[in-house]
A and B are shown apart, each in its own frame.
Chain A
Amino acid sequence: MKGGSAGSEAPEGRRTDQGIGRPREIGCGVLVGALDGLFSGLTGVGGGAVLVPLLVTALKVPQHHAHGTSLAIIVLIAAAGVPVYATQGAVNWALAAQLAMGSMVGVVLGAKLMLRVPAVVLRRGFGVFLLLIAVKMLAG
């Protein structure tokens, strides 16, 4: 799937530095995806809460790239999950549209803000954030 383009100077089949390429890493990637998808479908979230931790620990994606990559994967998961909920009548479109108007602005600001945050702060901040929600959900 990564056959060199005609103008490329890199030798055919050479492994790029970007992302995962070896069989073990590919297997890991598929497993991470499966685990994340299952969680996402079960709980109705895009899966980023599970995806970012797994990308940085299991797949060794650098912290800032993990957050961006996570969002790109979530697009596909959410797009696939929405019809399942919609056919059960579990989507209130008017409410969703209203929320989305605000979130589209917020997400652009957030992505730009991320570039200014050091990796260690992103990682620890995300960890604390998940811990708080976990406690809330388990206690509630």
Chain B
Amino acid sequence: MDIALGLALGLGTGLVGGLMGLGGGTLLVPALVLLVGLDQHLAQGVSLAVVAITSLVGAITHHRQGTVRLQTVAWVAPGAVACGFLGASLATGLDGAVLSKIFGAMLLVMSGLLLAGKPAE
């Protein structure tokens, strides 16, 4: 892949990631599959490595500006990490097309949640 494209793709996903509180994988996985032509599994692996680094830098920035609730992190993270292992192990046994559909369906439900209710400040 072209270096300029890689940097631009990274900058774009990072910007949206920091703004939206995402690691950037939601953008990066489709971009790597559709733009770069990686296969779904490799795209997910590369994406997760980038997400780990991006989110670390992003979390530090957010913590400094006071927009991280450490107590919430403490209660949510352990279950997330444990089930993350489970999910990653399950993913290797699933077909790429099925993974894409799970991904799409889950995001559809989440967008409904956000578009329906009103935000708290």
Contacts and interface: CB of A to CB of B under 8 A. Distances in A.
Interface of A: 1-2, 16, 18-21, 25-26, 29-57, 59-82, 84-86, 88, 90-93, 95-96, 98-115, 117, 119-120, 122-131, 133-138, 140
Contact of A105 (B11, B23, B84): B11
Interface size classification for chain B: 35 or more
A107 B19 CA distance: 7
Contacts of B50: 96, 99-100, 103
Contact of A131 (B23, B45, B115): B115
Contact of A102 (B14, B41, B81, B86): B14
21 contacts: A19-B74, A19-B75, A31-B79, A33-B77, A33-B80, A37-B84, A43-B44, A44-B43, A44-B91, A47-B80, A69-B21, A80-B84, A81-B85, A90-B46, A109-B18, A112-B18, A123-B114, A129-B16, A130-B114, A134-B105, A137-B30
A115 B67 contact: yes
Contacts of B91: 41-44
A102 B9 CA distance: 7
A71 B23 contact: yes
Given A127-B115, A138-B101, A71 B26 contact: no
B42 A102 contact: no
Interface in B55-86: 55-59, 61-63, 65, 67-86
Contacts of A80: 81, 84-85
B10 A103 contact: yes
Contacts, number: 456
Given A33-B78, A73-B73, A100-B54, A108 B68 contact: no
Nearest to B113: A53
Looking at B30, B49, B63, B80, the one whose CB has the most chain A CB atoms below 10 A away is: B80
A52 B114 CA distance: 9
